[in-house]
Amino acid sequence: MEEDAQMAVKIRTAASVAIAAPLLFVALFPVIWAFLSSLKNLRDIVSPVPILIFKPTLANFATVLNTPAVQLGLTNSVVIVGSAVIIGVLFGWPAAYAVSRMKGRIKEEYQFFVLSIRFMPPVAVAIPFMALYMNLGINDTRLSLVLTYSLITISTIIWMSIPGFEGVPAEIQEAAELDGCSPLRVFLRVALPYALPSLVGGLLFTFVIVWNELLIALVLTAKNVTLPVVASSFSTLGMEVPWGVINASAMLLCVPPLIFIVMLMNFLNRFFKAKDIL
């Protein structure tokens, strides 16, 4: 019986690997191919026969990094996206906690309203806001993009954080209230630490969405552009499409989200270790 059970486990493991491996390859192949192309010269990239063995070059990355617009776009993206995500957390997590404690139809209607904000196409948001910001005198500024991106971060974080707060046992919250904790203290000391692991996924997803956003930034900015706008502009350099430069800019565009993920994971590890010590 034990041998049969072990054999069944091995078969399930082999089947899982057989299914997961092709899916993983399909998901990672574009990234790997873009990275390899960023290390090639243009002649190797446009060759009719794919060249897998080539002499790597960092000229494409040097072209991107030595472009002043890239430095400006990176600074703007870090400031704008970072500010919008912080605003989304400050308003989104408390709102999600409040919605999670609602009951009845009003809870469903509120969730649908929050989700409906994400239904709107970017153009439907960008054009009215552009007219509004021009009247206020803040068009083509970091502040205008922070305010616009905050709509995305707040709505997304609320929607994705509600299930996390719903998983907090009501008995724990009620016990904290009986001990004299205010609703704010219950949220900060009980609900938030308990739900934090499930909130991280929504936070990362929101950051990636806003970091890669292009159309709104393209409409609302001309000088204070973000990194995706700068990356898209490389396709118009010269008479030929600079595929190597485009791929290099795409690779560099992926670096800040990866750094953010690593930092967040390290924070979570320290957070859980501190809880274990306590």
Same domain, 197 and 159: yes
Q: Using the 8-state DSSP alphabet, how is residue 58 labeled? A: -
Chain segment 180-204, per-residue pLDDT in tens: 888 888 888 889 888 888 888 889 8
What is the CATH classification number for the domain harbouring 150?
Answer: 1.10.3720.10
Q: Is residue 231 part of a domain?
A: yes
Helices (H), 187-226: 192-211, 215-220
Q: Determine the Cα–Cα distance for residues 3 and 242; give it in Å rounded to an integer.
A: 59
Q: Is residue 47 part of a domain?
A: no
Six token digits for residue 22: 């092709």
Q: For 6-10, 110-114, 207-211, 254-258, which range has the lowest pLDDT when averaged over its residues?
A: 6-10
Same domain, 90 and 27: no
Same domain, 145 and 234: yes
Give the range of the structural domain holding residue 102, as residue numbers without chain letter. 59-277
Same domain, 7 and 99: no
Mutual orientation of helices 243-277 and 192-211 as an angle, nearest 10°? 170
Q: Is residue 49 part of a domain?
A: no
Provide DSSP, 60-100. Answer: HHHHHHT-HHHHHHHHHHHHHHHHHHHHHHHHHHHHHHHHH
Same domain, 17 and 63: no
**Averaged over 204-215, what is the pLDDT?**
90
Same domain, 163 and 86: yes
Same domain, 74 and 30: no
**Averaged over 248-276, what is the pLDDT?**
76
Same domain, 71 and 203: yes
Same domain, 169 and 90: yes
Q: Using the 8-state DSSP alphabet, how is residue 236 labeled? A: G
Same domain, 20 and 139: no
Q: Is residue 52 part of a domain?
A: no
Same domain, 181 and 231: yes
Chain segment 145-168, per-residue pLDDT in tens: 999 999 899 999 998 899 889 888
Q: Is residue 66 part of a domain?
A: yes
C-alpha atoms less than 13 angstroms from C-alpha of 218 in its C-beta half-sphere? 12
Same domain, 115 and 243: yes
What's the whole-number average pLDDT of the chain?
84
Q: How many domains does the chain have?
A: 2
Percent of the chain, pLDDT > 90?
Answer: 18
Q: Is residue 34 part of a domain?
A: yes
**Averaged over 15-20, what is the pLDDT?**
85
Q: Is residue 43 part of a domain?
A: no
Q: Is residue 48 part of a domain?
A: no
